[in-house]
Amino acid sequence: MAPENTYLTSQGNESERQADAARIAEQSLTLNLHTEKFLKDLPFESSGTLIDFGAGTGGAHPVLVNYASHIIATEVEEKKLRMAEAYAQTKELNNKATFEYRLGGIAGLELANESIDTIYGRLIWQHLDSPTRSSEMRASRTALKRGGIFAGEDMDLLTWRLEPTTPTFDFFIDSLIKLYQKKGTEPRMGPKLTALCEGAGFEIIKVNTYAIPASGNDRFKRLHLGIFQAVGGGFVGTGMMTEEQFKNEFAQLTADIMDESRTAHTPLVTQIAARKI
Ligand SMILES: C[S@@+](CC[C@H](N)C(=O)[O-])C[C@H]1O[C@@H](n2cnc3c(N)ncnc32)[C@H](O)[C@@H]1O
């Protein structure tokens, strides 16, 4: 049975491990171009301490090393933290910043008040239920220095589109929304980031949005499959689909998305920067 929370698909099998590595590389490459553009105009202390909340396999770290001298990567899955550590070594990121890898969220870190320069989190807030989101936000604000920056990036999954659409694509989007409802998490987190920051008493300094359209045989079409494949374990793990059903539906989804006559648009991503006043 596939694990419930699967940004990873590999179960120790070499070809699956290679598929994971290819997907992580694709996601990092694609999202990091936008992350870099977002962060480069913000007033960072480049010698400061940055928390990467929900760091996953460290996909954002090649960018984040340019905006801090010390990075605390937090993550609920130990296996991903170890992959993030290996990724930093492979990419020689340790020459640019020091890293600390911590299991769990920010609230569990017992940080000194006003000790952190930047809190960064990409595609993490959508995965939290409402009480966890509130306590992680409170902990973020307490840990930040005055004038420190909160930078978040998240999606609105309801804006994910295939044109012209197909029954299988619609079925996947529908299933995804049901999965989030089942878990009490937030599929429309992107547009809600502003209210989250304002509610915590931050001053908003920048908001951007972007989506990535891919037509014909554009290689960014693979990004969509990577994301759907990653959440597929959630469908299986929560009993929404059998493994066999997921496999068949995913094969059809692959054919639909890769169909050169269709254009796939990633969900709209909101990037928000806010300052602790
Ligand atoms: C979609 S991934 C994003 C990873 C990374 N930020 C990136 O952009 O490449 C979300 C990550 O958040 C982690 N996560 C979920 N809930 C968490 C929590 N309460 N505390 C810390 N990490 C969490 C998941 O395990 C997953 O690796």
User: Are 121 and 39 in contact, with CB atoms under 8 Å apart?
Assistant: no
| Residue 24 alpha carbon, nearest atom of ligand 1 | 9
- Number of compact structural domains in the chain: 1
**Predicted local confidence at residue 226, as pLDDT:** 80
**Predicted local confidence at residue 1, as pLDDT:** 35
The answer to whether residue 4 sits within a structural domain is no
How many A from CA of 170 to the centre of ligand 1? 25
Phi, psi at residue 182, to the nearest 5°?
-60, -40
pLDDT in tens, 24-53: 666 667 789 899 999 998 987 678 999 999
The answer to whether residue 37 sits within a structural domain is yes
**Predicted local confidence at residue 228, as pLDDT:** 84
Q: Where are the alpha helices (DSSP H) in the chain?
A: 14-39, 61-64, 78-90, 130-143, 167-183, 189-199, 221-237, 243-258
The answer to whether residue 170 sits within a structural domain is yes
Whether ligand 1 lies within 6 angstroms of the CB of 76 is answered as yes
pLDDT above 80 for 55: yes
**Predicted local confidence at residue 256, as pLDDT:** 97
Owning domain of residue 32: 14-276
Which CATH number do you get for residue 150? 3.40.50.150
Beta strands across the sheet bearing 161-163: 161-163, 263-265, 213-214
pLDDT above 50 for 7: no
Give residue 20's pLDDT band: very low, low, confident or very high (50, 70, 90): low
pLDDT above 70 for 12: no
The answer to whether residue 154 sits within a structural domain is yes
Whether ligand 1 lies within 6 angstroms of the CB of 49 is answered as no
Predicted structure pTM score: 0.90
pLDDT in tens, 140-178: 999 999 999 999 999 999 999 999 999 999 999 999 999
Q: How far apart are CA 29 and CA 262, in angstroms?
A: 23
Pocket perturbation via mutation, ligand 1, pick of 23, 32, 127, 227 by most ligand atoms within 8 A of CB: 127
For ligand 1, atom 10, name the residue with the nearest CA.
124
How many A from CA of 75 to the centre of ligand 1? 6
For ligand 1, atom 27, name the residue with the nearest CA.
56
User: Are 123 and 54 in contact, with CB atoms under 8 Å apart?
Assistant: yes
The answer to whether residue 9 sits within a structural domain is no
The answer to whether residue 7 sits within a structural domain is no
Whether ligand 1 lies within 6 angstroms of the CB of 127 is answered as yes
How many A from CA of 155 to the centre of ligand 1? 13
- Mean per-residue pLDDT for 201-215? 94
Q: How far apart are CA 6 and CA 135, in angstroms?
A: 24
**Predicted local confidence at residue 225, as pLDDT:** 87
- Mean per-residue pLDDT for 247-272? 95
- Mean per-residue pLDDT for 188-193? 97
Whether ligand 1 lies within 6 angstroms of the CB of 69 is answered as no
For ligand 1, atom 20, name the residue with the nearest CA.
105
pLDDT in tens, 91-110: 899 999 999 999 999 999 98
> Does 115 or 213 have the greater pLDDT score?
115
How many A from CA of 53 to the centre of ligand 1? 7
**Predicted local confidence at residue 164, as pLDDT:** 98
The answer to whether residue 2 sits within a structural domain is no
How many A from CA of 141 to the centre of ligand 1? 19
Two structure tokens written together for 204: 């908003």
**Average pLDDT of the chain?**
90
Q: Which of 3-7, 115-119, 201-205 has the lowest mean pLDDT?
A: 3-7
| Residue 59 alpha carbon, nearest atom of ligand 1 | 9
The answer to whether residue 98 sits within a structural domain is yes
